[in-house]
Structure 1
Amino acid sequence: MINQIDKNAPKIADQYCGEDFEPEISVLCLTFNHREYIGQCIEGVLAQRTHRRVEIIVHDDASTDDTRDILIEYRNRYPGFIKLVLQDENQFTKGNVVLSLGIKHCRGGFVAFCHGDDHWLSPYKLQYQHECLMKSKAGIVGNRSLILDAKNNEYVGVSGFSTNEITELTDKLVLKNSGNVVPYSSIMVNPEIKNRILENVPPVRSHTGLQILGSLSSGMLVLPYLFTVYRVNVSGSSTEMMFSSDEKKMKMVEMKIPSLRRLRTIAPSNVTFDLDRLLARELFIAPRSLLGKRSLSNYSESLRNRDAKGLSIFLLAITVEFVLLSLRFFVGKVKKLIF
């Protein structure tokens, strides 16, 4: 797909286009309390070799450590490339989708994503992914990533769809993997998918929702190259904040439901069945596994911000919807058997 990488292309850090240049690629970095890692993240972007004009947008979600000071230092050092979106209050804990708050500041048609506690290894990531998207019908591309354990600073594995060659996945295969194909910090999208994100995020959310959204109709490219590092076990990370208790896990399930519903409204007909199956799982199986060994009354007691009646109505609603989706599922199976 790619004939040749220009290894002599200039580094982003060595370019200067002036304050009002028009970027072709935006790199959107989302960060919160990443003082130990944000410098490595930004340096990995600045080291990229490309002839394309690139801007770096960093959204800081009201960090309480030294992250913001580090960002301001980088912004002052590279005023033509780095632009900061600094929140006064943490938007994630308010239920807002920080991706949507950041991407609206991106001027480039192509957008690459990164978290402040991850980083890029290869200086050719942007160049390679951009060329792939230019030559493919796919609107989203990602790659496998090395997993780095923050507790002991050791590589512990590889994350992402296993492949030894550039692979084009259909939207159906992305859904089969529940949208969890590659790590967030490996993803890049073309202008069409960028606009789709602006129109649908929220209610679409999370890195899995992003990958489903980006793959609808046009599919997704997965590269076998380890261009990026995905850091795990980071204290205070969004992952830890989302899944630190059953109450928070249940909240994430509730947020996924409107996300999947929106995806179904814009999905082509050949994958609505797959979205129904995924939605049914989130509506019934996930809440049931969270309730697990506890009775409804015990669970209600643990959710102090939700009254028992409200929880009962919610569980009744998802049970009814699960039944309806199950009927649709079996009707689809029967049609396949007949035709």
Structure 2
Amino acid sequence: MSLTALPAMHREVRLAAHAEGELTSSHFLVAEVPVPQPGPGQVLVRTRLMAVTAAMRTQMTGVKLPMPSFVPGRALWGAAVGEVVAAPDGGFTPGELVHHPYGWREFAVAEESVLKRIEPDALPMPAAHLSQGATAWGALRRAAGIRPGDTVFVTGAAGGVGSMAGQIARRLGAGRVIGSTSSERKAVRLRAELGYDDTVVRGAGPIEHQLRRAAPDGIDVLLDTVAGEQLTAALELARPDARFALVGALSTQLGGDGSITSPAGLDAGLIITRRVTLRGFGRYAHPDLAEEWTREFGKGLRDGSLVFPHALLRGIAQAPRALCELTQGRHTGSVLVEL
């Protein structure tokens, strides 16, 4: 698309008001605004795909966070794949695909320094560049250090991270992989397609009792995206020298005030006597992780040993619905919007 063929206006999704309680369409506003023009050192990008994540629900609350929060009246943002439209300084070429941080709008102006060029053959499909598999890969390989034969428990196993984590744990040599999820419908898919040997279903009885049935000899590794009761139950089943990688707190992020804070009662005696390691993991602290994961992911997608579960909604007007449905647990895998 040339500059002369650009529309004068485009759409962006703004935060209408800080979110409290259940997230609804009333928390969003789809606005029509002029297409921005790039200045020196900037690139104009047309967004093709964008991701919605649990962290975005937290950013809508106005509570104090370790990352920037969304501001009422202004556009939201997030990971996206876009096509370069104009690059006045020549650092990029029109038509190139790039990874950029300004989803939730049809066109975006970005500094050249924040764009990451997408190699055409890196992954079989552009949508796969929005996978959350890098977090699962890093948490299991670097933070938890899976060993051959380990029993692994993944909480929130049907989410963007968890739906990749079962496959990755198996790929790294785990002997048994157990996942928690919110429904038996999702549990069936986890066991049939996504690398899980057994499942724990929230609401089907105490988590600890279900986990004891699924892992009678205990667990060696936890990848925790949920916290709360599930983290506490995992500690009760921890084997000596177990390694816990904590990457999220969905038990509070997707409901109530959306806070990232999720208090859990942990038995210090168990942590000490069983020598359990608890480590927080954030992909942002590992800038080299994306390239490493892309190589592994591309190989797995091409030979069929990995799949990318995701839901795809079409049109920017569907972006609010996509995030609302994510918070309601309607989908398995990553939730993406095609613009």
Q: Which has the higher helix share?
A: 1
- TM-score of the two chains, using structure 2 as the length reference: 0.23
**Structure possessing the higher relative contact order (Cα contacts under 8 Å, 6 or more residues apart):** 2
